[in-house]
Homo-oligomer: A and B are copies of this chain.
Amino acid sequence: MNCMAKEKKLPTMVDVARQAGVALGTVSRVVNGQQVGEEFKSKVEEAIDQLGYRYNSSGRALRTGSSKIIALIIPNTINPYFALLVHHINMELDKRDYRMLLCFTEYDKDRENEYIQLARQNRVDGIIALTYNPRLTIPGDIPFVTIDRFFSTSVPCIAADNFGGGYIAAHKLKELGCRKVAFLRTSSVITNEPAKRKDGFVSACVETELPFEIMDLDDSQPFEKMKQFLISHTDHGRLEFDGLFVGTDALAWQVIQVLRSMRIQVPEDVQVIGFDGIRMFGNQEMIVSTIVQPVREIAESSVNTVLSHHFANLPSLICLPVTYAYGGTTRE
C-alpha cells in the first residue's frame, strides 16, 4: 500500500546548518574536509549523521562543473573481455569516488558519436572509449582516452603489447614443435593497434624460420570464410597446419568448434593459441590457450590517464605487457 512515501525529502545542507546552528558555508567546509574549528566541526558532524545527510550530486555538479562521472563507451558486455574491462574500470573509478556512465555501441558508428554527445550533456569529466570506428569525432574539450585504438598523439591510447603477443605466440608454437602455422584474424584485429599482432607473429616466424600463412577474414561472413579456409587447407582429413594463432579467443573458440566438426583433434592434430585471455566464469583456467591481456592494468591505466590533470604532457601510447597462458588447446 503505502510502500512509497515519496514526499519525505532528503535533508539538505541548509537543514544541517539549521540543526547545528551554524552557517551554510561552515557545513560545506566540513563536508569538503576544509579547515574548520574543532567545536564547529563536531557540531556539524553530529547534525550530519543525526539527519543522515549526504550531499546532493546534482547540486555539487552544477556548482563545481565537475560531475564526477567518466563515460565508458564500449561495444557490449557480452564478450567476456569487455565484461572484465567494464568490471575493472568501474572498480578503479569507485576507488576514486567516480561513477561510470556506461554506453553500449554494439559496433554502431552513429551510436558512438551520439554517446559522445550524451557524455557531454551529462558533463562527464572524461571519456574512455573502446570503439572500432576509424572516423570518430573526438571532442577537444573533454579528456579523452582510447583503449586499443590509436588516433593521434593528442589522444592517449592504452593498449596491450600486441606486437609482443604475436611474437610470443609464434615462438610458443615453434617451441611446441609446430612445422607450419597460420594466423587467422577478423576485421577488428586487422586495423590499428591490434594489427601489430600480425607483425609480431610474422617477425617471430621469420626469426625462427617457421613457415606461416596469414588469413584475413575481413568480410561480411567471417565465420563462413574461416570454415572455407580450414576446409581448403585440409587434405585427406589432415590439416596442412599443425599450429594456429587466432586473433581473438572468441574466434579461436569458433575455430575449435569447426575443427572438431571436421574430426581434427585439438591439440593432438593442431595446436591453437588465441588472444585475450578469457576465463569461463572467472575461473582459474582459460577457455583456450591464449595470450592474456592485462585487463586490470589496462583499466587502471585508462582511469589514471583520463583523470590526470597534466593531460598535455602524457605519453600518447601506453603499452602493457602480455603473457602466455595454457588453456588445453596446446600440448603440455
Is A233 among interface residues, defined by CB-CB distance under 8 A? no
Is A294 among interface residues, defined by CB-CB distance under 8 A? no
Are A62 and B58 touching (Cβ within 8 A)?
yes
Q: Which of chain B's residues have a CB closer than 8 A to the CB of A121? A: 54-57
Interface 1/0 per residue, A201-212 and B, CB below 8 Å: 000000000000
Name the interface residues of A87-123: CB closer than 8 Å to any CB of B: 87, 90-91, 94, 99-102, 104, 117, 120-123
Q: How many copies does the complex hold?
A: 2
Q: Measured between alpha carbons, how far is A77 from B76 in the docked complex, in Å?
A: 11
* Selected interface stretch from A40-48, A165-173, A277-285, A296-304: A277-285
Q: Which of chain B's residues have a CB closer than 8 A to the CB of A55? A: 121
Contacts known (A3-B311, A62-B59, A155-B3); A76 close to B87, Cβ less than 8 A = yes
Q: How far is the CB of A254 from chain B (nearest CB, A)?
A: 7
Q: Measured between alpha carbons, how far is A61 from B60 in the docked complex, in Å?
A: 11
Name the interface residues of A264-313: CB closer than 8 Å to any CB of B: 280-283, 287, 311-312
CB contact between A1 and one of B1, B57, B312 (< 8 Å): that residue: B312
Interface 1/0 per residue, A149-162 and B, CB below 8 Å: 00000110000000
* Selected interface stretch from A4-12, A224-232, A236-244, A318-326: A4-12
CB contact between A77 and one of B86, B117, B250 (< 8 Å): that residue: B86
Q: Which of chain B's residues have a CB closer than 8 A to the CB of A102? A: 86, 90, 100, 102
Are A120 and B10 touching (Cβ within 8 A)?
yes
Q: Which of chain B's residues have a CB closer than 8 A to the CB of A76? A: 87, 282
Are B67 and A77 touching (Cβ within 8 A)?
no
Are B312 and A3 touching (Cβ within 8 A)?
yes
Q: Which of chain B's residues have a CB closer than 8 A to the CB of A77? A: 77, 83-84, 86-87
Q: Measured between alpha carbons, how far is A310 from B94 in the docked complex, in Å?
A: 33
Are A57 and B250 touching (Cβ within 8 A)?
no
Interface 1/0 per residue, A1-45 and B, CB below 8 Å: 111111010100000000000000000000000000000000000
CB contact between A3 and one of B154, B254, B283 (< 8 Å): that residue: B154
Is A80 among interface residues, defined by CB-CB distance under 8 A? yes
CB contact between A84 and one of B62, B78, B140, B254 (< 8 Å): that residue: B78
Between A and B, 23 residue pairs with Cβ closer than 8 Å are A2-B312, A3-B154, A3-B311, A4-B143, A5-B140, A6-B141, A8-B140, A8-B141, A10-B123, A54-B120, A56-B62, A56-B121, A57-B67, A58-B62, A58-B123, A62-B62, A78-B80, A78-B84, A90-B104, A99-B122, A253-B281, A253-B283, A280-B287
**A positions within 8 Å CB-CB of B:** 1-6, 8, 10, 54-59, 61-62, 67, 76-80, 83-84, 86-87, 90-91, 94, 99-102, 104, 117, 120-123, 140-141, 143, 154-155, 250, 253-254, 280-283, 287, 311-312
